[in-house]
Structure 1
């Protein structure tokens, strides 16, 4: 069994919903996660995400199906910003993050920042 922090499981569930074309049941979400956490755990996290208004739900018979209610890129960017805000050395965190980017990710970041020149 894979043990993960609750925040990590929330992020994995949100990513599974972001990749879906429509609503997913807790069982469908569970099958898309590494290690397949307990159904009750996935359901509990989904209820919490619903309370936070990060997902919407729709009744399908006796059960609910879920869909992402927010823009995934905004959600991830907000989490990254929160981590930077609480870091004792935000510049060091940013530096370490940039050092781990792939060539393609670096190219995209340079493009966003308006610096398309390689090595600049």
Structure 2
């Protein structure tokens, strides 16, 4: 299972929320504006993390654009669903895991699950 570090997660949140592919400098500016004072990552750090995220299959880089533009390789929802599937697949007792999960969801989410299963 591919886990994201704190900065990787913050960068992916910006990439997922961006209305269009985003340049590393613009991404850094968003991180700078939304993060705590004095906690702005260097552009080289952002570019290194983007390169790692590309290698992990989280972002796609448009090499023809100048500067390079990054877009998500999958939606946030696809990523979360993949994580859930991987966790469930790693369980030795899937029924117990599903029962525990269903027992902890809110009534509202349980109703949503029922509707999705019926569809």
Q: What is the root-mean-square deviation of aligned Cα atoms in Å?
A: 3.2
Counterpart secondary structure, 1:7 = coil
The answer to whether the 8 A contact 1:17-1:29 is kept is no
The answer to whether the 8 A contact 2:59-2:72 is kept is yes
Q: Aligned residue for 1:89? A: 93
Counterparts of 1:79 and 1:13, CA distance in 2: 18
Counterparts of 2:60 and 2:15, CA distance in 1: 11
Counterparts of 1:109 and 1:57, CA distance in 2: 35
Identify which of 4, 7, 11 aligns with 1:7.
4
Q: Aligned residue for 1:20? A: 18
1:78 equivalent in alignment to 2:78: no
Identify which of 103, 108, 120 aligns with 2:112.
108
The answer to whether the 8 A contact 1:13-1:29 is kept is no
Q: TM-score, normalised by structure 1?
A: 0.62
Number of equivalenced pairs: 108
Counterparts of 2:5 and 2:98, CA distance in 1: 20
Select the structure that is richer in helix.
2
The answer to whether the 8 A contact 1:18-1:72 is kept is yes
Residue by residue over 1:46-99, the C-alpha shift from the partner in whole angstroms, topping out at 9 and shown as x without a partner, is 2122123331224444xx442112233322211211111222333333233323
In structure 1, stretches of 5+ residues that fail to align are 1-5, 116-120
Counterpart secondary structure, 2:4 = helix
Alpha carbons of structure 1 residues 19 and 99: separation in structure 2 relative to 1, 3 Å: farther
Q: TM-score, normalised by structure 2?
A: 0.62
The answer to whether the 8 A contact 1:23-1:65 is kept is yes
